[in-house]
Amino acid sequence: MELEQTKIFGVKINDLPVEATINIIKNNILTKEKTIISNANIHALNLTFKIAWFRNFLNESDLVFCDGFGVLIGAYLLNQPIHYRYTPPDWINKLGIMCCENHFTLGLIGSKTGVAEKTGSILKDKLPGLDIAFTYHGYFNKTPGNPENEAVIELINLAKPDILLVGFGMPMQEKWLLENFDRLDVKVALPVGAAFDYVSGNVRRAPKWMTDHGLEWLGRLIIEPRRLWKRYIIGNPLFFWRILKQKFGLLKYPE
């Protein structure tokens, strides 16, 4: 199926509602089509100028959804409006409902020890009947061929979750999928960043009035200034400077 695309910095972003994304996930599981669903926010698009393989990963993903109000504004400035934006913590429940209805299993890997397990427990409490087939933390040696990495892959393949949510943070989660997805006995993989931390309550999320009005970045900056100041204080203006350069045909794309 051809999906409508917007191109920002030469990176595809698909413009479709979350319900359509979930429906694509469902159909691809049923047809046994291995699928990677990625997301694009300001941080991701800035990374594409530094990391060639990351840029290729996004463009080769089966679907890339908009995960940031900044990207919506950037697309509008380029006269390529994107109408839908959603972030994993906001739609993980809808994904879980679809899994319950279709008897699909879910796997969670990422964050500190115990966080994925807690996230799974919270989701199961909200959605009785949800089958969490696998949980694991993200603090293992991810080097290809390392015994720890091989052991994790073996555990995933024993559990065979239909959908694997990977929360290592960007771009580590994408790199791990790039190196290992072909070997994983899963049908759909989604990089989800800090979703487990937010769902589990391990990290406080910005108030809903901020997340609903394009200010989640500010909330995150206030909550985690030491870790995120460079991403937002430097990264946000840089993104919009590049948007203006693309608008006027002056942007030099990375090769």
Split at pLDDT 50, 70, 90, the class of 205 is confident
The pLDDT, as a whole number, for residue 243 is 97
The pLDDT, as a whole number, for residue 155 is 98
Higher pLDDT, residue 62 or 211: 62
Split at pLDDT 50, 70, 90, the class of 153 is very high
Residues 123-140: what's their mean pLDDT? 97
The pLDDT, as a whole number, for residue 132 is 98
Residues 7-18: what's their mean pLDDT? 95
Residues 216-235: what's their mean pLDDT? 86
DSSP of the chain: ----EEEETTEEEE---HHHHHHHHHHHHHTT--EEEEEE-HHHHHHTTT-HHHHHHHHHSSEEEE--HHHHHHHHHTT--------HHHHHHHHHHHHHHHT-EEEEEESSTTHHHHHHHHHHHHSTT-EEEEEE-S-S--STT-HHHHHHHHHHHHH--SEEEEES-TTHHHHHHHHHGGG---SEEEE-TTHHHHHHTSSPPPPHHHHTTT-HHHHHHHHSHHHHHIIIIIHHHHHHHHHHHHHTT------
Q: Which tens digits make up the pLDDT trace of 93-131?
A: 999 999 999 999 999 999 999 999 999 999 999 999 999
The pLDDT, as a whole number, for residue 216 is 83
Show the domains of the chain with their CATH numbers. Answer: 1-86+205-255 (no CATH), 89-203 (3.40.50.2300)
Whether the predicted pLDDT of 4 surpasses 90: no
Split at pLDDT 50, 70, 90, the class of 194 is very high
Residues 75-83: what's their mean pLDDT? 95
Whether the predicted pLDDT of 184 surpasses 70: yes
Mean pLDDT of all residues belonging to the chain: 94
Whether the predicted pLDDT of 1 surpasses 60: no
Split at pLDDT 50, 70, 90, the class of 2 is low
The pLDDT, as a whole number, for residue 255 is 67
The pLDDT, as a whole number, for residue 173 is 98
